[in-house]
Structure 1
Amino acid sequence: MLGVATVNAQSDTVTIHSQDIAAPYKVENVTIKDLNGVPTPIPQFGEKNLLIFYVDPDSYLRGGRNKRLSDELEENKRAEGPAIHAFGVMNFPDTGLPKKFLRSIIRKRIEKNGATILEDDQHLLRDGWKLGDCNNCFAYIVVSKEGELVYVAKENLDEAGLENFYNVIEKYRK
């Protein structure tokens, strides 16, 4: 389902609309893994606002609008700022592709852009944060530095959704 955020710049609030996720709500840091299988907590949790790309590898390899948006964010630096940390988490349980193959693709991307990409091999992030079904999704998640999940979009964003997404990012990146 699509989580749509509406930003009211005058009152400095973000309102979340979602059919399957009632946000904002408090989340706890969870321990997932790095690409070597070493347990690691969510980086910068509680220190910075987070933009997390929670990706089913099948969705990533298919391409589509959200992958293009991810590439665009990387190029135009709109997800960067002193108050935000952006990174990816691969949702491994929802793919049938071999982890070794996926890790090689991920490592090439890291070499290209210096990104942080972790893996969730047991749905720990999905279940810990009550994200619901993320199979075949390229999800965008924003968590405030106070530990509140404030935005989730799990489907391809249309033009209005993109505008709302960029408004949310602007609010949390400065």
Structure 2
Amino acid sequence: MKKILQLSISFVLIAFTTISVQAQEKSTLKRGDKIEKVDIRDLNNNDAVTPGIGEKVTLIFYPDPDKPSQNEYFIEEVKKWKFPEDEYLAYGIVNLADSPYPNGIIRFMTRQVRKRSKQEADALILTDPKRFIQDAWNTGDCNNTFPILLVDADGTVLFWKAGELTKEEVDFVINEIKNSVSESHKYTEEEMAQFAL
């Protein structure tokens, strides 16, 4: 009788664990989900709201400061393209909550990074000190990753990945942007040279 009770408890626990994992997987952000704007912070720790959501095709970089170069290839590839500013917006939101470093130091260092090139000098960079993005958009765990999110002008997710993009995924995201705006232009090498310091 005791063994039957133990087996019954084991089956219940296994079933509960399986259901919990499946529910968690289903609730994670995916293509086709719709997102709304989220209250976050800017680089000076002032109130800010995620711009572009529901208005423009929006590309969001959400890096953990511990993994600043995980999607460097993607960033370099997307910088080779010009899209209409009235239809497209790209920016970063630094995931401060998953870093062991003090928020003030990360904000300062991020301001310095923007000085690497003329193209990055005007880049919009916001911060998320308390996992506001992860909670609002059900992204799942973003610790030690450099997630990439692309949404259309209605706020519908076209692409989401918390981790390094493959070359195929890089091409897919750039093509999704090109297909979602009225025009696109790939910079020539000469045009790219104008952004160098």
TM range (shorter): 0.7 to 0.9
Distance 1:169 1:105 in 2: 29
Change (3 A) 1:115 1:167: same
Among all aligned residue pairs of Structure 1 and Structure 2, give the percentage whose two residues are the same amino acid. 29
Could you tell me how far 1:47 is from its partner in structure 2? 2.0
Once superposed, what is the RMSD of the aligned Cα atoms? 2.0
2:50 maps to 42
**Runs of 4+, deviation exceeding 3 Å:** 18-22
Task: After TM superposition, list the pairs within 5 Å mapping 1:6-155 onto structure 2.
Answer: 20-60=28-68, 63-64=69-70, 66-74=71-79, 76-78=80-82, 80-82=83-85, 83-111=87-115, 112=117, 113=120, 114-155=122-163
State the TM-score, normalizing by the size of structure 2.
0.70
Q: Which has the higher contact order (CA 8 A, sep 6+)?
A: 1
User: 1:39: Cα distance to partner?
Assistant: 1.2
2:105 maps to amino acid: F
2 CA distance for matches of 1:42 and 1:23? 19
Contact 2:30-2:159 at 8 Å conserved across structures: no
Say which structure is richer in strand: 1
Residues 55-103 of structure 1, C-alpha deviation per residue, up to 9 Å, x if partnerless?
111010xx23x123213423x135x334110000000111101222211
Q: How does the TM-score come out when normalised to structure 1?
A: 0.78
Which deviates further from its counterpart, 22-31 or 122-131? Answer: 22-31
Whether the 8 Å contact between 1:48 and 1:84 is mirrored in structure 2 is yes
Q: Can you give the 5+ residue segments of structure 2 that lack an aligned partner in the other structure? A: 1-24, 183-197
Q: Pick the structure with more helix per residue.
A: 2
Question: Unpaired segments of 5 or more residues in structure 1?
Answer: 1-17
Corresponding pairs, count: 152
SS at match of 1:169: helix
